[in-house]
Amino acid sequence: MSDIKVATKNPRQKIKINISRSLLLLCASLCLSVFVHSARAAEPIVVLTTFSEEPMGALFEEFKQLNPDIPIQVVYRRTGPALKWVQQSSINPVDMIISSSPTFFHDLDNEGLIVAPLEQYEMPAWLTVHDLTKSNKTIALGYSGITIMYNQRYLEKNNLPIPHTWKDLAAAQFSGHIMMSTPNNSGTTHMMVEGVLQQKGWQQGWALLREVGGNLASVSARSFGVSESISRGLVGAGVVIDSYAIDAKNKFPFTDFNYLPNTVILPTYISVTPRGRNKANVAKLIQYFLSNNGQTLISSSAIAKHSLTDASLAQSSHPVINEDLLFNRATIINALFDQVITYQLPKLQLAWKLIHQAEATNNISPDEQNIIKQARQLASAVPINETESLQLQHQFIRQANEYKHATEIEQIMYQWRKESESQLDQAISLMNSLASQKR
């Protein structure tokens, strides 16, 4: 049998093959590097905001045009869900946060979820007196005030005067003609409610809020829902942040607004997160917001904030908010508002309608005046006093983080709701009895 010879490759051929393999590996490595770099370059700035979509879209548009290579992803959430979103930043990465709620940033700061930006920016001295965060981890973008927005056509059709104060909104003639949002869903509404409580005091403040509550046609889930309803003619007036009122007036000339006396000033804050992946681009975006072009856009676009070059409103309003009270009872205020106003709306409306009708009757005897006074007190009171609100805050925060104690919080709120309901039932019963006697 003849030997079988296996042919071997030429050494030169081996060298050529090795060189070709090396070139292929090099090309593959370069391609992968370019791909990874492109992916990183295309990674968006993730901005979380508690504002609505329309004004925020206008705020970012020019920056996108000037920086087409820097994509921006905006996440819109109410303050409560927004806090949970940042708490889950390992799942939901966030680079920048924009909001006008100081309690939101206070909670973020306490949990170590925000950090000082790469570059420090000094807030104008005239605005620092209204800054409730008192932190180097927040930057002021602009500021707003609180207004009563109204629909002129609606008011004229229903023979209603233009309201200027909370007391005006509590008048009998506005029954069913106004709207507001709940502080549990809106950081700006929480500031409005806190402003009333600090200016009027706990007892008188809640009495005013519950009387206004009796005139509400409904409670909006979002603050911008109030301005939309007024613009559409569903209600005549409501308390809103001025940026919504200004934007509505630009679109619908038959809407207008008045600033509340000594309005609470609300800076719009920016902050950055420790897990942010786009620190350089975030710094660039902040620089743009604070530039002349950015500040002009902020005051003239749909976002309609007062720029940092316009001190007029801030200097005309005296600060009234005690930040210690604000932060130390925020959770309780939000929960209490829902239990005594939001969830009691039908009975609250009826109770105050009957009280106002009784007060408007002629020839009221002293005994009848006492009955009306008693009904008013029942419809005005809340289940806890100011001292108890501060004590309960710590219990709510502690137990909210422990699932096994969640039922205790629910039980407390249930007791508030039942007590408030019982008081309204008594007020309604008193007024019905009085009305039957007058017939």
Q: Give me the residues paired with residue 268 across strands.
A: 142
- Distance set, CA 105 to CA 80, 135, 146, 187 (Å): 12, 9, 20, 10
- Distance set, CA 338 to CA 171, 187, 328, 332, 356 (Å): 22, 14, 18, 10, 23
Give the H/E segment covering residue 124. none
Average pLDDT over residues 72-80: 89
State the CATH number of the domain containing residue 232. Answer: 3.40.190.10
Residue 392 confidence (pLDDT) above 70: yes
Residue 17 confidence (pLDDT) above 80: no
Q: Quick one: 194 and 245 in the same domain? A: yes
Average pLDDT over residues 374-395: 94
Average of per-residue pLDDT values in the chain: 88
Helix, strand or coil, per DSSP, at residue 219: strand
Helix, strand or coil, per DSSP, at residue 68: coil
Burial tier of 346 (Cβ tally within 10 Å: 0-12, 13-18, 19+):
exposed
Give the H/E segment covering residue 221. none
Domain count, the chain: 3
* Residue 165 C-beta-side C-alpha neighbours within 13 Å: 9
Question: Which tokens belong to 187?
Answer: 């950081």
Q: Quick one: 150 and 258 in the same domain? A: yes
Give domain status of residue 37, yes or no. no
Q: Quick one: 138 and 150 in the same domain? A: no
Q: Quick one: 209 and 279 in the same domain? A: no
Give domain status of residue 410, yes or no. yes
Average pLDDT over residues 64-93: 88
The CA-based angle 312-317-318, given to 5 degrees, is: 135
Q: Quick one: 151 and 238 in the same domain? A: yes
Range of the domain at 282: 45-144+267-316
Helix, strand or coil, per DSSP, at residue 388: helix
Burial tier of 44 (Cβ tally within 10 Å: 0-12, 13-18, 19+):
middle
Side chain identity, residue 30: L
Q: What is the pLDDT of residues 214-236, one digit of tens each?
A: 999 999 988 889 999 999 999 99
Give domain status of residue 12, yes or no. no
Helix, strand or coil, per DSSP, at residue 396: helix
Give domain status of residue 25, yes or no. no
Question: Which tokens belong to 118?
Answer: 């790469």
394: DSSP letter? H
Give domain status of residue 26, yes or no. no
Give domain status of residue 289, yes or no. yes
Q: What is the pLDDT of residues 22-61, one digit of tens each?
A: 545 444 454 444 444 444 456 899 999 988 887 777 788 8
Q: What pTM did the predictor assign? A: 0.85
Give domain status of residue 3, yes or no. no
| Domain end marker among 218, 245, 262 | 262
Q: Quick one: 135 and 273 in the same domain? A: yes
Q: Which is it for strands 96-99 and 45-49: parallel, antiparallel or unpaired?
A: parallel
Q: Quick one: 151 and 256 in the same domain? A: yes
The CA-based angle 199-204-208, given to 5 degrees, is: 90
Say which residue, 151 or 80, is predicted with more confidence.
151
Give domain status of residue 309, yes or no. yes
Give the H/E segment covering residue 199. helix 187-200
Q: Quick one: 276 and 351 in the same domain? A: no
Helix, strand or coil, per DSSP, at residue 250: helix
